[in-house]
Amino acid sequence: MALIVQKFGGTSVGSVERIEMVAEKVKKFRENGDDIVVVVSAMSGETNRLIALAKQISDQPVPRELDVMVSTGEQVTIALLAMALIKRGVPAVSYTGNQVRILTDSAHTKARILQIDDQKLRADLKAGRVVVVAGFQGVDEHGNITTLGRGGSDTTGVALAAALKADECQIYTDVDGVYTTDPRVVPKARRLEKITFEEMLEMASLGSKVLQIRSVEFAGKYNVPLRVLHSFQEGPGTLITIDEEESMEQPIISGIAFNRDEAKLTIRGVPDNPGVAFKILGPISAANIEVDMIVQNISHDNTTDFTFTVHRNDYLNAMQVLQNTAREIGAREVIGDTDIAKVSIVGVGMRSHAGVASRMFEALAKESINIQMISTSEIKVSVVIEEKYLELAVRALHTAFELDAPARQVE
């Protein structure tokens, strides 16, 4: 008998029919003898509907009041799911964030969980009840309703699992697990049985939008085994956990992430003085533009080139800022490119394997794909290439690192 926290997102509870399906699923776990805490989001579309209503009053609704309003979305879902469970003879009780007491700080619309009171929940579980908790919301020390920001329901699930020392936190989504890469790009992409928290963080932040990054960090910190599963299909999903056994069989890399939302800017002929990086990036950051990759190479003739990537939406804005900077510091020119893509290989296995990067570059060279930028971390190598080669690059790397599914498993 295990204690499992199950989180169902907005799409999984997007209609009464789907809520009934979730109730069926929960019922089966109960019949297996597991103790279940369910965390649910607002029905899909509901949060947006509420925000739109608030925006009719004010472009900048007061955050405290916005939280009072938006938190009603999950409150409706918990009641419906509890009703659906009770209808099936499964004793159940619903709680808002305030009722559980999920204590947060007072940063309305983006609050952080400080503490969870597990007393009520434990008493209910002991009494044989399924506990249905509203995700995404909490209450501050003054009794004000808070929300955790978009995607916060994942965080609620993980935090509850940590507080209850649950055996597993299951995140139900519209995919059946974490894949070696996007199956739409590489038909031979495989579902991973297991992935480490660190790898998942790199995969998630690079565009595999299965889980909210914050919840993965949280799960890693408290060592809560996370499992990603499909809401309405059977299957084991992907377990995200700490890297316990670094076995021989462990693949060198776990997956290939990619991102075509970025644009590249280069400032050339920058006088190579101390503090020049700050002079360049300071104004970009002041303009609220987030920078992803940054590359500066050794200098020639006391000048250097400095390149970085930003989100494509910020490209024009960043270009303007950078041109001003170029004039001020006496740089030669500013050039930019929006037709780029970033491809990354991710895996804890590369820590203990030399030559992973060169194997990557070799595979790309074989396909005559030019590498424009390189950046590496302990468990990741990222390159920027011309966008039109993206699919080709991902497929080549998928094969080169032996990630392709065996032919017989492809359905």
Binding site for a second copy (CB under 8 A): 16, 19-20, 50, 53-54, 56-58, 61-62, 64-66, 68-69, 71-72, 75-76, 78-80, 82-84, 86-87, 93-94, 96, 98-99, 143-145
CB of 69 to a second copy, least distance (A): 4
Among positive and negative, which fits the CA dihedral 127, 129, 130, 136?
negative
CB of 16 to a second copy, least distance (A): 4
Q: Which residue, 71 or 309, is less far from a second copy as judged by CB?
A: 71
39 in Cβ contact with 6 (< 8 Å): yes
Q: How far is CA 158 from CA 38, 116, 220, 314, in A?
A: 11, 11, 10, 33
CB of 100 to a second copy, least distance (A): 10
Among positive and negative, which fits the CA dihedral 7, 113, 79, 29?
positive
CB of 56 to a second copy, least distance (A): 4
Give the span between the Cα atoms of 208 and 213, in whole angstroms.
10
Q: Which residue, 53 or 365, is less far from a second copy as judged by CB?
A: 53
Q: Which candidate, 222, 213, 206, places its Cα nearest to that of 377?
A: 206
Give the span between the Cα atoms of 334 and 144, in whole angstroms.
49
Q: Which residue, 49 or 209, is less far from a second copy as judged by CB?
A: 49
Give the DSSP H or E segment for 92: strand 92-95
Q: Which residue, 42 or 284, is less far from a second copy as judged by CB?
A: 42
Q: Which residue, 136 or 401, is less far from a second copy as judged by CB?
A: 136
CB of 262 to a second copy, least distance (A): 37
CB of 9 to a second copy, least distance (A): 19
E strands in 117-261: 130-134, 137-139, 145-147, 168-173, 194-196, 226-230, 238-241, 255-259
Q: Which residue, 104 or 344, is less far from a second copy as judged by CB?
A: 104
Give the span between the Cα atoms of 230 and 240, in whole angstroms.
15
Q: Which candidate, 188, 229, 212, 232, places its Cα nearest to that of 24?
A: 232
